[in-house]
Amino acid sequence: MRYEDFYRQSVERPEQFWAEQARRIHWETPPAKILEESTPFRRWFVGGTTNLCHNAVDRHLAERGEQLALVAVSTETGITRELSYRELHREVNTFAAVLAALGVGRGDRVVIYLPNVAEAVFAMLACARIGAIHSVVFGGFAAHNLALRIDDAEPRLLVCADAGMRGGKVIPYKPLVDAALAEAKSPPPQVLIVDRGLDPQMTRVAGRDLDYAELRRAHEGEQVPVAWLESNEPSYLLYTSGTTGKPKGIQRDVGGYAVAMAMSIRCIFDVAPGQVMFSTSDVGWAVGHSYNVYGPLIGGATSLLYEGLPTHPDPGIWWQLCERYGVRTMFSSPTGIRVLKKQDAGWLKKYDLSELKWLFLAGEPLDEPTAHWITEGLGVPVIDNYWQTETGWPAITLMPGLDLKPVKFGSPGLPAPGYRMKVIDETTGGEAAPGQKGVLVFEPPLPPGCLSTVWRDDARYVSSYFSHFREPVYSSLDWAIRDADGYVTILGRTDDVINVAGHRLGTREIEESVSTHPAVAEAAVVGVKDELKGQVPVVFATLKQGVGEAPKQVAQGMQQRVVQQLGALARPARVYVVNALPKTRSGKLLRRSLQALCQQADPGDLSTLDDPGALDEVRRALERGPDLGA
């Protein structure tokens, strides 16, 4: 089917469209009503009962029980686990039996604090099986942030590892858990520890801390019945940052999410049963939930789960895995590709990638130079796609599984099915003309799979997402431009703008321009206070290996490109060439911290900082002065 027809049906006749898509999953009880709407709330597949674990595991046993379901590879520990659907079924049932023995039941919350290991998948699916609500917290999150999430979710149990690893360095988790539970007002009564043998100094609290391996032996082989849940019951919570400092618990439903996963894995990601998908995300993030775990498994595919760096043991590790397992669709981030962009491009040609058809990138805007580099290097289409933790699956993308439209570098593409998208002029509230900058919004009802509310806070759901314009539209809080063909380009957050002498400049626009310089590997632009102009752009950039020019020459070239492409108004006031940029472990640049350091202010919460040395590198650069500028 043509994309245009598919999309038109989804927005003009949503109930008919989603009723058809709902046939992709198993319903124990068919829905009585497809859509029940009370703007801005909505309920999909009302009265239908289903279960995420059954759709991801049990229903595949008859046809593909011996097929690989999950491959968990760790280049940190050197351990690879390959599990068929039948083996995954046994492990999930065992984990579910352990949860039940610990008193976890339907509606109870379970916080999961694990790295990308097979047990994280077992734990998530086991919760789904018995109707418990899981809340995966990114492994290594600081104790205070973990405590905030514990207090909001009020879990019955916390599942953690003794430690994770990154770049060969052991990162103890248990001390963070102990500190979080000491701070939390609503700590769970029990902690289930997946002991990987990485932290021999790990301490246990008698009566609270339990060993998963021991309980697994006691319950191995047990069968746990599936809990059939009404479509709109909560499936999981995933926390995202809020403007108030209190994290928002994004609440996902069961039936709508299952349908969105089943449709998107085929129509967007072009992965059929028996094929292999490799998502490099951490399970603690939205992509990890949807396309490391639920999407591929609901689709009857094989999911490749990876713990490790993209450059260890060498910069070819991702492509080696693609060759070994015949990966069809890979999903990563622009940051991950920019890390590889600093390496020898020969690694992209070393392995047989004839099975690889698509590389999807998301999580942040994809700059054109990086898109060109990886497209030419791999020789496969590179598809940017835009979504948020809140949407749960791509909102703007191209759909090679249905009808691949031309790729336009710099744009994630066209609206996905069910997303009634507009670009709104923030001043007038009217729809922006093609090529005019505005705020990206979605008209209700949001399609299946999107957040249903904020956990225990409907008022915050409304105020955070539906109160920015006169009409009750979902505001993405992202600037965007839509061209005459309907393609959207994301320009950055509405609060990530630089106001230079009364003129607003998006940081993304300047970063794009800077990154066109052939010597630049990655760039971050922040707005810094200026007495005359209000704010001025300041650039921090890393260079590719083997650059012969002096940093000052490269800095001058960056500035010239900005002036040539965006005008003198956007000229960077200062340019700093550094060896590393501060990022979270998920790969997002810490622009706010860069801005704070420039203004000699507190860099804020650094609990998710990947490499503390990167922040020290920035501090040293600021002390020695810019490579260009006053």
What's the residue count for the chain?
630
Listed residues 478, 496, 524: the one ending a domain:
478
Q: Could you give the CA distance from residue 372 to residue 395 in angstroms, rounded to a whole number?
A: 23
Q: Both 206 and 263 in a single domain?
A: yes
Catalogue the E-assigned strands of 257-301: 276-279
**Residue 491: its pLDDT value, please?**
85
535: nearest Cα among 573, 500, 569, 503: 500
pLDDT averages per 10-residue partition of the chain, 630 residues: 96 98 98 97 98 99 98 98 98 98 98 98 98 92 86 98 94 95 97 98 97 98 98 96 72 98 98 98 95 98 97 96 98 90 93 98 86 95 95 98 95 97 92 95 98 97 94 93 96 73 71 92 91 85 91 94 82 95 84 89 78 89 90
Q: Report DSSP state, residue 198.
A: -
CATH number where 186 lies: 3.40.50.12780
Among 89, 85, 449, CA closest to 303 = 85
| Same domain flag for 99 and 26 | yes
Same domain (yes/no): 133, 225: yes
Residue 145 lies in a domain: yes
Q: Does any domain span residue 377?
A: no
148 and 287 together in one domain: yes
Q: In this structure, are 555 and 470 located in the same domain?
A: no
Using alpha carbons only, what angle is made at residue 198 by residues 197 and 202, rounded to the nearest 5 degrees?
Answer: 85
Same domain as 569, residue 426: no
d(CA 235, CA 260): 14
In a domain, 365, yes or no: no
pLDDT of res. 496: 67
Same-domain status, 84 and 172: yes
Residue at a domain's end among 462, 478, 494: 478
Instruction: Answer yes or no: is 524 within a domain.
Output: yes
Residue with tokens 């106001």, as numbered in its chain: 499
Burial category of 16 from C-beta neighbours within 10 Å (exposed 0-12, middle 13-18, buried 19 and up)? exposed
- Domain enclosing residue 48, as ranges: 3-308+385-478
Stated pTM of the model: 0.86
CATH of the domain at 527: 3.30.300.30
C-alpha 537/C-alpha 529 separation (Å) is 9
Number of domains in the chain: 2
Distance (Å, whole) CA 601 – CA 136: 32
Does 573 share its domain with 431? no
Residue type for 291, please? Y
CA–CA distance, 328 with 278 (Å, rounded to integer): 8
Q: Are residues 400 and 525 in the same domain?
A: no
Q: How far is CA 70 from the centre of its chain?
A: 19
Peptide bond into 313 cis (omega under 30): yes
Residue type at 386 in one-letter notation = Y
Look at residue 277 in the predicted model and tell me its pLDDT: 98
pLDDT tens, residue by residue, 323-356: 999 999 999 998 889 889 989 999 999 999 999 9
DSSP state of 168: T
Cβ contacts of residue 531 below 8 Å, gap of 6+? none
The answer as to whether 488 is a domain residue is no
Tabulate helix, strand, coil % of the chain (nearest 5).
35, 25, 40
* SS3 (DSSP) at 22: helix
Q: Which backbone phi and psi does 156 adopt, to 5 degrees?
A: -80, -25
Q: How far apart are the first and last CA of the chain?
A: 57
Which among 582, 576, 585, 586 is positioned nearest to 543, based on CA atoms?
A: 576
For residue 460, tell me if it sits in a domain: yes
- Report the C-alpha dihedral over residues 32, 35, 38, 40, rounded to 10 degrees: 140
Q: Which of 348, 405, 412 is nearest to 380 (CA)?
A: 348
Does residue 41 sit in the same domain as residue 115?
yes
380-396 pLDDT, tens digit each: 999 999 999 999 999 99
The whole-angstrom separation of Cα 312 and Cα 95 is 31
Residue 155 shares a structural domain with residue 7: yes
Does residue 334 belong to any structural domain of this protein?
no
Residue 373 within any structural domain of the chain = no
Same domain membership, residue 405 and residue 454: yes
